[in-house]
Amino acid sequence: MAESRFWIFVGVVTVFGTLMAQVQCNEESQLIADLFKAYNKNIRPVVHPKDKLEIQIKLTLTNLISLNEKEETLTTNVWIEIQWLDYRFVWNTSNYHGIDVIRVPCNIVWLPDIVLENNIDGKFDVAYYANVLISHNGWMYWLPPAIYRSTCAIEITYFPFDYQNCTLAFRSQTYSANEVDLILAVGDTEETIEWVDIDPEAFTENGEWAIVHRPGRKMINPRYTPDDLEYQEILFNLVIQRKPLFYVINIILPCSLISSLVVLAYFLPAQAGGQKLTVSISVLLAQTVFLFLIAQKIPETSLSVPLIGKYLIFVMSVTTLIATNQIVVLNFSLRSPSTHTMSSTIKHLFLEMVPRFLGMPPLVDETEVTTEVNGVRERRRSSFGLMQRAEEYVLKQPRSEMMFDKQRERHGLTRSIVEDMDVSSTANLYKSLAQAAPEIKQCVDACNFIAESTRQQNNIGSEIESWVLIGKMIDKVCFWAAISLFIIGTVWIFLTGHFNRAPEFPFPGQSKKYVPS
């Protein structure tokens, strides 16, 4: 018995709910029919033609899709919220079963024709034409989603440590400022929403860009009159800072490592000029490849040079200077007395002063003597002086075979001739021997020729060695100059980019951040 009563109660409730729904549906249909009975969507919803209609605009960002530097295009996924008051849609909720909100297609009501002015693809429409919510007091609420591709002037001076300021400009494409008044939306707390709204739960963070500022404001262009469509517009700015990690790992770090290899060419011998030039040219070609990669990423503009482009030009210039220096060093290292004469100034500069500057002992042999005879430079080392003095000593001493009379007679010498010889000097001894025996003169001439040839060969080898040492000193000086220039230039260039941060406030001269309080 109780069970049957329960099922009867359930049936009554179900029937009653169905009847209520039908009544509700019928009342909403009747309401829509009554509201649109004499409605014309082509007429601006104002009582008098001179009245202004206030349009509230709010932008909600759901995804910063991309910023194409090459095309200077910003792609965003947004919800644009437009609200206005239409006096023709006012009804008494008690007459229509308490209905206070209805939803109608947007193509049957008046719209303020708000479009993105700075779009780049010519698509002014939204992505989806959502329904319009109409409240019983005539308040219209339209929230269509849109994917906008807008223009964004790219500033590449500090690329990839740059920040960009992109703008989304909205205005009515049909009505002037005398007909509609575009303002920023007002929140529930009667606070003007002067920023791009972001829902943390719906927002997708971009992997390359971080949003620093997102202000919104109404802009009045004084160059136009209120009758012009360009007179007023709503601007939403997105100040975004680039996350440079991708470029540091994939471009800057490999380029720096490859460029540093050219400095290692100084560790090759000074005479290995061919191998040094091979290393330098290989590094130069690799740097050119990186320059092409950068050129494909940034816009083709002559207004400024990107920071990473400046760095590549800098390291390419350093590499070219190093290659030129290697040619100069090779030229010095392969010099010889037959092609170049080493002056005392060059010798003093590179073999004495430069080594002291580098903390090395002088490379000049202190026992080396340079004399000038009849305008001709003659270089003799102390070893040759010892040889010459030994030669004079031997020549002055009597030969062992001359100590015996019979042996002297066998050589055609007589005691009187030997005793009359002047042995005070090598030259006098040479003249005396030449008078005594022509054969001895020939022997002495041969010995003098051998000694002179040995002396000249030693002088040539010593001067060639000095040229090689000069090349090494130039190499060492240029090594420290190149590595200092490379390190200082690299640190200075990238520190300049590191300190290039978005300003604290979005607009110059204002101390307002345009963020929710």
Contact 396, 429 (CB under 8 A): yes
Which of 195, 197, 198 shows the shortest CA–CA distance to 216? 195
**Residue-averaged pLDDT of the chain:** 79
Give the pLDDT score at 410.
Answer: 54
Give the pLDDT score at 365.
Answer: 57
Q: Residue 3 region, left (φ>0) first, then alpha (ψ -120 to 50), else beta?
A: alpha
Contact 164, 104 (CB under 8 A): no
As a whole number, mean pLDDT of residues 40-48 equals: 91
As a whole number, mean pLDDT of residues 407-411 equals: 51
Task: Kindly tell me the number of DSSP H helices and DSSP E strands found in the chain.
Answer: 12, 15
Q: Which residues contact 376 (CB under 8 A, 6 or more apart)?
A: none
- Tell me 251's DSSP state: I
Higher pLDDT, 263 or 461: 263
The pLDDT-based confidence of 98 (bands split at 50, 70, 90) is confident
pLDDT at 424 over 70: no
The pLDDT-based confidence of 202 (bands split at 50, 70, 90) is confident
**Residues 70, 120: Cα–Cα separation, whole Å:** 14
Give the pLDDT score at 14.
Answer: 59
Of the chain, the percentage scoring pLDDT greater than 90 comes to 28
R_g (Cα) of the chain, nearest Å: 49
Contact 118, 168 (CB under 8 A): yes
Q: What is the dihedral of CA 351, 355, 361, 366, to 10 degrees?
A: 20
Give the pLDDT score at 11.
Answer: 58
**Residues 31, 317: Cα–Cα separation, whole Å:** 79
Counting beta carbons within 10 angstroms of the beta carbon of residue 90, is it exposed (0 to 12), middle (13 to 18) or buried (19 or more)?
Answer: middle
pLDDT at 77 over 50: yes
Q: Which residues contact 70 (CB under 8 A, 6 or more apart)?
A: 296, 297, 298, 299
The pLDDT-based confidence of 4 (bands split at 50, 70, 90) is low
Hey, which of 27-41, 141-155, 287-301, 315-329 has the most confident mean pLDDT? 141-155
pTM as predicted: 0.71
